[in-house]
């Protein structure tokens, strides 16, 4: 018998990095399903704009996911305003493109804090809130870069592999608890983050709306792996059956090595990404000042 899709009507859903791109698409899709949505974003006006456009039941608040106490306070504020959190989408992330030998230490720290540490913290907070109710769904946004390696994205790939590993472990640990875990793995998506990126042969570039639709489907009928497009998942599993040399040759034939290269068109995005972890950078400045005293 087919599984009856779950209703999302009235559910409280939180999306980090929801002020634009994939996060905004997810917020709109969940609102269309009747969910009560809270959007958090470092860009407070963007979060407010999205929430206002979603209607009176939506909430938009400033959120620096690298400020861990602030992240906790944000979730507390959502629960005071909207009720217990049913769905948490750990979506906030950045993707600088640079050869690893040229990457600055602060870029590495920034990605680790935003793309991985914040996802761990958000997941930890969600689990602690959902376990007593034995209900909830955590969606961690990774990437196809969490399953493969791409030149000029070494640190990004490391963080997204970490997100996949975290999600795998939580799925095993929480089996039978009532908490569902999913990991979202899009390929190239039509967002600012993907500006100037190439594409692999035969891999479709998708829209934020298509990503959001797959996420909604996985919330209604829970599944762990959410590949977008779904064909990327089939390609990944087929390639994983090959010996390493053959698998790498297959990837090169698809043009994987040419997906992420420095491009002047990325300048605006790269500059914004470089200013996306104020809490971490403030701590680094304090530590540097203390060393000079």
CA atoms within 13 A on the CB side of 34: 7
Residue written as token pair 């209900």 = 135
Q: Give the orientation angle of helix 208-220 with respect to helix 21-32, to 10 degrees.
A: 50
Going by C-alpha positions, the residue among 143, 126, 165 that lies closest to residue 38 is 126
CA 271 vs CA 114, 209, 274: distances in Å = 16, 26, 5
CB 40 within 8 A of CB 87: no
Number of neighbours of residue 252 by Cβ within 10 angstroms? 11
Q: How far apart are CA 110 and CA 22, in angstroms?
A: 20
Number of neighbours of residue 191 by Cβ within 10 angstroms? 18
Residue 37 gets which letter from DSSP? E
Residue 270 gets which letter from DSSP? H
CA 262 vs CA 30, 107, 147, 205: distances in Å = 34, 15, 22, 19
H or E segment and range at residue 40? strand 36-41
Residue 32 phi, psi (nearest 5): -65, -25
H or E segment and range at residue 71? helix 68-82
What is the three-class DSSP state of 178?
coil
Q: Does residue 156 have an active-site annotation?
A: yes
**156, 236, 237, 269: the active-site residue:** 156
Residues involved in catalysis: 156
């Amino acid at each position: 018998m087919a599984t009856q899709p779950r209703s999302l009507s009235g559910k409280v859903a939180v999306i980090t990095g929801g002020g634009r791109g994939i996060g905004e698409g997810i917020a709109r899709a969940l609102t269309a399903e009747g969910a009560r949505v809270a959007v958090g974003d470092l860009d407070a006006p963007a979060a407010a704009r999205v929430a206002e456009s979603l209607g009176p039941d939506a909430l938009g608040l400033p959120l620096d996911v690298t400020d861990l106490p602030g992240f906790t306070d944000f979730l507390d504020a959502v629960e005071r305003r909207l009720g217990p959190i049913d769905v948490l989408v750990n979506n906030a992330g950045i993707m600088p493109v640079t050869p690893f030998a040229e990457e600055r230490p602060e870029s590495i720290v920034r990605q680790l804090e935003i793309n991985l540490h914040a996802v761990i913290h958000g997941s930890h907070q969600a689990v602690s809130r959902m376990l007593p109710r034995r209900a909830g769904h955590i969606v961690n946004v990774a990437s196809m870069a969490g399953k493969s390696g791409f030149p000029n994205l070494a640190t990004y790939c490391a963080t997204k592999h970490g997100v996949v590993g975290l999600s795998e472990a939580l799925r095993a640990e929480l089996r039978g608890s009532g908490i569902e875990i999913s990991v979202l793995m899009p390929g190239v998506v039509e967002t600012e983050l993907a500006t100037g990126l190439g594409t692999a042969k035969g891999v479709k570039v998708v829209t934020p709306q298509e990503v959001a639709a797959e996420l909604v489907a996985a919330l209604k009928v829970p599944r762990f792996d959410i590949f977008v497009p779904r064909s990327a998942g089939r390609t990944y599993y087929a390639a994983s059956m090959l010996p390493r040399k053959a698998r790498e040759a297959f990837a090169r034939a698809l043009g994987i090595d040419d997906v992420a290269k420095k491009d002047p068109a990325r300048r605006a995005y790269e500059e914004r990404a470089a200013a996306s972890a104020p809490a971490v950078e403030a701590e680094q400045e304090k530590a540097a000042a203390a060393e000079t005293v």
